[in-house]
Amino acid sequence: MKIDIEAVKALCGNSKEAVIYGFNFYNYQQLYEAINRDGSIKAYNSDDYESKNDVMVNSGHSYSNLYNHFKFLINDLLLENYKRQQKGEPLVPLIFVVGLDNNRYDKSRIFERADDPSDKGVTLTELRRCYKLAHEFGEEMTKVAGQTFKFVRLVSSDNGYQFETVEPFWKDEQWQKGWEERKKTTEKEMGSENRNNFWRKKFQTLIDETDEQHKKIDPSNS
């Protein structure tokens, strides 16, 4: 794949790194390889990104654990960017490829439930995790998520593939309605508000610990 590396740099801003996710049929792996061949930006994917935080939690559901590696890398990147923002450092973008030329993803698939929980598709679970991280952990984390998640469509040109920025799927009114319907059918367990609170509690604890550490370094943020 030939890419316009200047378009990559524009997405990355002052960062010399990027994490690449996406649908296989939209060539996100080829994008990852092309960026690394150029060498001016270091690209990571789910195979070589190394977590810096203990974000992983086992839910006890075997089908969910199939996707944990991919989802918790997003948790880790966002937490690291939260720390980077506090330090005034460049944020590392998550470039999420959701289209290729005239082909675009179907946003409704993100809120639809699979008949077989083990066959729900890893990329769809990653997109749902992006949404939850961007909306459930306070205003500051929402801002960091907005600067981190870069949804793009690859568009061919004479200079190689360019990026067309795609608005986050959660801003679509029809998607919001579909998501609310999905939430009504979320499986509940005795004594638990939601069976997926395990990872939320862990992530919130890590945010709180990060804030406390930042206050010790810079008391003016108390």
Mean pLDDT score of the chain: 89
What's the pLDDT score for residue 218? 73
Question: Of 90, 97, 92, 91, whose CA–CA distance to 162 is shortest?
Answer: 97
Of 28 and 159, the one with more pLDDT: 28
Average pLDDT of 69-98? 97
Average pLDDT of 17-33? 97
Average pLDDT of 191-205? 76
Amino acid letter for position 216: K
Q: Is the pLDDT of residue 13 over 70?
A: yes
What's the pLDDT score for residue 192? 46
Q: Is the pLDDT of residue 24 over 50?
A: yes
Average pLDDT of 164-171? 96
Q: Is the pLDDT of residue 123 over 90?
A: yes
Q: Is the pLDDT of residue 117 over 70?
A: no
Q: Is the pLDDT of residue 59 over 90?
A: no
Strand pairing partners for 150?
A: 95
HSE-CB at 192 with a 13 A cutoff on CA atoms is 12
Average pLDDT of 24-43? 97
The two tokens of residue 125 are: 């679970």
Of 39 and 220, the one with more pLDDT: 39
Q: Is the pLDDT of residue 189 over 70?
A: no
What's the pLDDT score for residue 121? 79
What's the pLDDT score for residue 61? 54
